Structures are given as C-alpha cells and as structure tokens.
C-alpha cells in the first residue's frame, strides 16, 4: 500500500508522539513536540498542494513558525529558568506507558480502517488514525506526568490531534478561524508559563501531584 507525502507526514508525527511517551526528559519531549508539529505543517502544505488551496500554505507557515518554533523556544526558556531535567511518571513507568500507547494506536487503526475512501481524496482512515492516536497520546501524557510543563506539552499534543482530524476529515476550517486557534494556543501557553513561575516561587516546585495536598 502506497501513501501520499501528506499521509507519511501524519504517520511520522503520530509515531514521534508515541516515542515522546517513552521518554521522561522534558527537553526530549519538547523537541519531539517541535518535530511532530513541523511534520503536521508539512502535511498541511502537501494537502494544500493536493487541493490547490493557497490559504492552507499560510496556515502551514503559521503552524511551523508559531507552534513548531515559537512555543518550543518559549518553553525551552522556561525549562532553563526553572532548572528542570526529567519528569518521573506519576502512575506508569515510561516503557509501560509507551507500550500502552502503542496498543491504543493499534486500537484506533482497527476503529477507523473501515472508513470510506473518497476518490481522489486523502485516505480518511489514515488521518483519523493519526488524529485519534495523537489525542490519546496527549491524554496519556497529561495523566502520567507530574510536572506542570509536561501537562502543557500533553495538551499541545492533544490539540495537534484535533487539528489533524479537522484537516483530514473536513479539509480544515476557514483560515481566519484556524489562525485564531493557533494564536489562542500561543497566548495560552505563555500564560501557563507565567503561572508556572508563580507556582515555583510560592511552593518551590511545579509538581501537580503535590498541589492536590493543599487545603484552604
């Protein structure tokens, strides 16, 4: 079975997301997020070529610049300021979590493999599988990690999965709406970064599991 360049980009991005679950190093996870976001940008560009939609080229550039470069650089800066290294799993070890995520990806394949394939369109089941896999990966990252910045990375991965689903199943929303979502994500990450500084200065850590021990 041959895949189009856009489909290969989506498959590669979902694979990178799964590998992120197998690493506890925050910088490695952030680099993985950068790589998978750039791959999603490439998939958007290839989709724009296939459908002859100029507006999607602008969207691909915005995703690469804002989500693939600006957000990771900002989070790298926060990691340096807070002197963060690795993040121990709160519930599952990294290898076990990664194998769980592989199982969830296989499940998503069987779930969407029977999707109809419109003639001349991007295979819907490929995009749906990558999207569901990435959403599940984001949820797993948010559930098993303890540091607040890891929770942010998990949310960003989940948001990428939602975007992939919109891109492949509906050929995307209007450009102005997509750009608004990208900017909202950028602003949200910056606000979350500032909140992490306040949490660090007040409690001397950003371990979200310890914050549940707080009482009024």
**54-67 pLDDT per residue, tens:** 878 888 888 888 88
Task: Evaluate if residue 18 carries a pLDDT over 80.
Answer: yes
Which residues lie across from 25 on neighbouring strands?
Answer: 86
Which pLDDT belongs to residue 125? 77
* Neighbour count for residue 22 (Cβ, 10 Å): 18
Q: Residue 175 contacts by C-beta under 8 Å, 6 or more apart in sequence?
A: 55, 56, 58, 59
If you count them, how many residues does the chain have? 216
Look at residues 165, 89, 183, 88 and name the one whose alpha carbon lies nearest to residue 122. Answer: 165
pLDDT category at 166 given cuts 50, 70, 90 is confident
Q: Which two tokens stand for residue 173?
A: 């929303």
What 3-state class would DSSP assign to 205? Answer: coil
Q: What is the mean pLDDT of the chain?
A: 78
User: How far, in Å, CA of 25 to CA of 68, rounded?
Assistant: 19
What 3-state class would DSSP assign to 116? Answer: coil
pLDDT category at 36 given cuts 50, 70, 90 is very high
Which residues lie across from 40 on neighbouring strands?
Answer: none
Q: Give the mean pLDDT of 140-145.
A: 84
What 3-state class would DSSP assign to 106? Answer: helix
Q: Which one-letter DSSP state was computed for residue 119?
A: T
Look at residues 160, 169, 156 and name the one whose alpha carbon lies nearest to residue 112. Answer: 169
User: How far, in Å, CA of 4 to CA of 109, rounded?
Assistant: 18
Which pLDDT belongs to residue 59? 83
Share above pLDDT 70 across residues of the chain, in percent, rounded to a whole number: 70
For residues 90 and 209, is the Cβ–Cβ distance under 8 A?
yes
Task: Evaluate if residue 16 carries a pLDDT over 90.
Answer: yes
For residues 137 and 21, is the Cβ–Cβ distance under 8 A?
yes
Query: Which of the listed ranges 2-6, 42-46, 48-52, 76-80 does the model predict with the highest average pLDDT?
Result: 42-46
For residues 20 and 94, is the Cβ–Cβ distance under 8 A?
no
Look at residues 137, 179, 178, 167 and name the one whose alpha carbon lies nearest to residue 33. Answer: 137
């Amino acid at each position: 079975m041959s895949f189009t360049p856009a489909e290969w980009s989506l498959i590669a991005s979902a694979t990178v997301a799964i590998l992120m679950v197998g690493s506890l190093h925050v910088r490695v996870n952030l680099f993985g997020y950068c790589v998978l976001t750039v791959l999603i940008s490439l998939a958007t560009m290839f989709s724009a070529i296939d459908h002859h939609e100029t507006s999607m080229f602008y969207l691909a550039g915005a995703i690469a610049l804002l989500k693939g470069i600006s957000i990771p650089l900002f989070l790298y800066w926060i990691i340096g300021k807070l002197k963060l290294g690795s993040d121990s799993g709160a519930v599952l070890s990294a290898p076990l979590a990664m194998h769980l995520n592989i199982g969830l990806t296989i499940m998503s394949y069987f779930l969407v493999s029977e999707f109809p394939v419109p003639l001349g369109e991007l295979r819907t089941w490929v995009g749906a599988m990558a999207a569901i896999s990435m959403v599940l990966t984001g949820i797993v990252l948010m559930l098993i990690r303890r540091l607040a910045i890891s929770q942010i990375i998990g949310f960003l991965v989940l948001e990428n999965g939602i975007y992939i689903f919109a891109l492949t199943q509906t050929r995307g929303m209007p450009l102005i709406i997509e750009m608004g979502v990208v900017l909202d994500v950028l602003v949200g990450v910056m606000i979350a970064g500032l909140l992490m500084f306040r949490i660090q200065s007040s409690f001397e850590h950003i371990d979200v599991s310890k914050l549940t021990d707080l009482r009024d």
